[in-house]
Amino acid sequence: MSRFYITTPIYYVNDAPHIGHAYPTVTADAIARWHRMLGDETMFLTGTDEHGLKIQRAAEANGVSPQEQADQTSQRFRDAWELLDISNDQFIRTTEPRHHTAVQELLTRVKENGFIEKGSYAGYYCVACEAYYNEDDLVDGTNCPIHERPAEWFEEDNYFFKLSALEAELLDWLNSDTVFPEGKRNEALGIIKLGLEDVSITRTSIDWGVPVPWDDDHVFYVWYDALINYATAVGFGADIDEFNRWWPEAHHIIGKDILRFHCVYWPAMLIAAGLQPPKQVHVSGFLLVGGKKLSKTGLTQIAPADLVEDFGVDGFRYHFLRDVSFGPDSEFSYEQMVSRYNSDLANTLGNLLSRVTTVVHKKCGGVGPTPDPESELAAVAAESYAASAAGWDKLQAPVALDAVWNLLRETNAYLERNEPWKMDEGSDEVATVMGDALEVLRLAAILASPALTRSSDAIWTAIGLTGSPSDQRLPEAASWGGYPGDLEVIKGTPLFPRLKAPDA
RNA sequence: GGCGAUGUAGCUCAGUUGGUAAGAGUGCUCGACUCAUAAUCGAGAGGUCGUGGGUUCAAGUCCCACCGUCGCUACCA
């Protein structure tokens, strides 16, 4: 049996869940669902990142403790993922005791291996921003670019991670098919070529963080705590055998804004701790609204719940999986979402189910016949499965789904050529054509189930099957001829009612 | 400034290691059909593959320059 471990980024709790969070989460969810159908032992992790200065300050502003602040926002992420049928096996929070244990153990290992040293960090510090600036970034050589007031020269003692000592190991890792797509791997290589400097990984100025076990005055800087969540969740610091079972299969899904951390710092930390770097990191682009990064537009009010109201859970999931390809940035568009829903879900799939169930009722007495083993659609279905499986394997949901829709389009054309509605009721020929169509719907329900968590079940039931397509095992269930026939076919209301275009 | 990414039909995008006369979906036009959610099927129009050079028997696919857009330039999640 194979094992598969997939993670989303953990989301920072200073921000409410929006579609920029939902996209990678839905993607990881669909991939996890696919692997479960393959029979893989699957672990799917998401969660929240809860330490750091921003949280501490947000809590102060709201008059609550940092923990209360984190609790509230973390719950909003849980709610959002429940709404979207996210099937995560775990939801990790960096404030959990098990995570503190894991962080302390992992970084202690790094220290014992000689990769952590004490030093001091010095630079121009803007108190209003609570951040350091490079001299080059200062306006007129002295002023903070945001607050336009003088930044002060600060020095603080920090512990430093000796990143610079790991260049060779990092290059090896990056050159062994680990970071996708290719362009993002090159960006990571570019970061290394610019020269690696040691990084400060602790803070004395705040206390909302994981304490440094060997020095009470310090907490770990939030990033070096956050990354370790992926290890905590599968047992690091608690059950090393469990960790060793899962860790070699770790696949991270991230956004390009955190590439540096996941493709340089994180593998370096793991190597320094004597552990394996992640198996794969898949980097997505940004979702843009009006050409701007979502989190910078103030349009984060595009809440998943609002879109679910208009498109349903499946409509929401399908749009992001089908239209947003991994790698490049892509523009979010409500109009595009409507167009995709109508053409793929309402017209191609939903309408196919409607016409098939109707004809089965008119010509086959409402009982689904068996498919023809020699059907011309069998080859199309085999091709569709192969392409879809290849797409999921590369974490390319648009490719995987397009392959399924290709089969659906071919089936609409097949019906058009054969015109079963003109055939004699109860004849062998109409039984053959409709059996084939029902078999395609069975296959489509299975192959689309990672995306359409609800309507795939509805299709399954409508063609008379029991259970759920998501319980089927691949690849066996994808071979032609699995529809048993002699089942009662139910003619229901349209699965995906067409939507009107907005302000048309 | 330095490094890097990207620019293919109206729109969203595919285009492996350079090689049959450039593709898909959607949109548009025309036709067919009427089982079906004004759905479906067929046909067609539509691209000098950002611009200009170069390498090659052959380039969207490699090299150079330029233009446009975007990102990174380190502790801001």
CATH number, position A24: 3.40.50.620
Distance A300 CA to B71 C1' (A): 21
Query: Which nucleotide is the nearest neighbour of A496, by CA and C1'?
Result: B37
Report how far residue A66's alpha carbon sits from residue A55's, in angstroms, rounded to the nearest whole number.
Answer: 6
Count of structural domains within chain A: 2
Query: Which nucleotide is the nearest neighbour of A326, by CA and C1'?
Result: B13
Among the listed residues A65, A76, A84, A92, the one whose alpha carbon sits nearest the alpha carbon of residue A9: A92
Distance A187 CA to B70 C1' (A): 14
Q: Is A129 marked active-site?
A: yes
pLDDT of amino acid A140: 61
Residue in A100, A111, A144, A184 annotated catalytic: A144
Distance A78 CA to B48 C1' (A): 53
Same-domain check for residues A433 and A343: yes
Same-domain check for residues A88 and A229: yes
Domain-located, residue A326: no
Q: What is the DSSP string of A321-378?
A: HHH--SSS-EE--HHHHHHHIIIIIIIIIIHHHHHHHHHHHHHSTTEEPPPPTT-HHH
Query: Which nucleotide is the nearest neighbour of A396, by CA and C1'?
Result: B14
Report how far residue A119's alpha carbon sits from residue A153's, in angstroms, rounded to the nearest whole number.
Answer: 16
On whether the CB atoms of residues A460 and A445 are closer than 8 A, the answer is: yes
Residue in A118, A129, A193, A292 annotated catalytic: A129
Range of the domain at A290: 3-114+224-297
Q: Which residues of chain A have pLDDT under 50?
A: 291, 294-299, 503-504
Report how far residue A332's alpha carbon sits from residue A351's, in angstroms, rounded to the nearest whole number.
Answer: 26
Nucleotides in B strand less than 7 A from protein CB: 2-6, 11-14, 24-27, 33-42, 70-77
Distances (CA, A) of A397 to A114, A141, A471: 42, 48, 20
pLDDT of amino acid A298: 45
Query: Which nucleotide is the nearest neighbour of A413, by CA and C1'?
Result: B41
Same-domain check for residues A275 and A415: no
pLDDT of amino acid A415: 96
Distances (CA, A) of A497 to A405, A450, A462: 18, 21, 16
Distance A490 CA to B38 C1' (A): 24
Give the count of beta carbons closer than 10 Å to the beta carbon of residue A241.
7
pLDDT of amino acid A299: 45
Q: Is A262 marked active-site?
A: no
Q: Write out the H or E segment, with its range, that includes residue A498.
A: none
Residue in A126, A162, A263, A363 annotated catalytic: A126
Same-domain check for residues A279 and A413: no
pLDDT of amino acid A92: 96
Distance A402 CA to B68 C1' (A): 32
Question: What CATH number has the domain bearing residue A363?
Answer: 1.10.730.10
Domain-located, residue A134: no
Same-domain check for residues A342 and A270: no
Same-domain check for residues A389 and A482: yes
Q: Is A18 marked active-site?
A: yes
Same-domain check for residues A483 and A359: yes
Same-domain check for residues A293 and A343: no
Domain-located, residue A23: yes
Report how far residue A462's alpha carbon sits from residue A420's, in angstroms, rounded to the nearest whole number.
Answer: 19
Residue nearest to nucleotide B40 (CA to C1'): A412
Domain-located, residue A470: yes
pLDDT of amino acid A130: 58
